[in-house]
Amino acid sequence: MKLQPVIETPHPAAIWAETAPLDPLQVDCVTAVMLKILDNKCKMLPEQQMAITAIYTVVRQRQGALFEPTIHQKIDDALNADSAISCQQIHELRLYAERIIPKPVMKHFKSYLRDSLYDLN
């Protein structure tokens, strides 16, 4: 018997993110929400967190406006179960992200995201 390879279908949010015209500040907003998820401070439902994680996986390669590219390695490390990055480091990065991204920008981004992803699920 021949086994068929498993074909993973990308999350609909990842497909959306591939063509979404996110500006650098919006890319930083995705990064900030990812930090919030990793810090266990995100109030989103698990399905919404999966969508953000899928979006982050796509847009992490794009240039943000506020964060150094090294932040993505720290997030990757936090996602790795064997990582040495501490919960405290993620917490500090999340607080930093919340300080540097203006609240109205983040609020607008979350609204844009909800409107854009509403029909995907």
pLDDT in tens, 19-55: 999 999 999 999 999 999 999 999 999 999 999 999 9
Count of C-beta atoms within a 10 Å radius of residue 54:
18
Burial class (CB in 10 A: 0-12, 13-18, 19+), 60: middle
Q: Is 80 left (phi over 0), alpha (psi -120 to 50) or beta?
A: beta
State yes or no: pLDDT of 83 exceeds 80.
no
Side chain identity, residue 4? Q
Q: Which amino acid is at 118?
A: Y
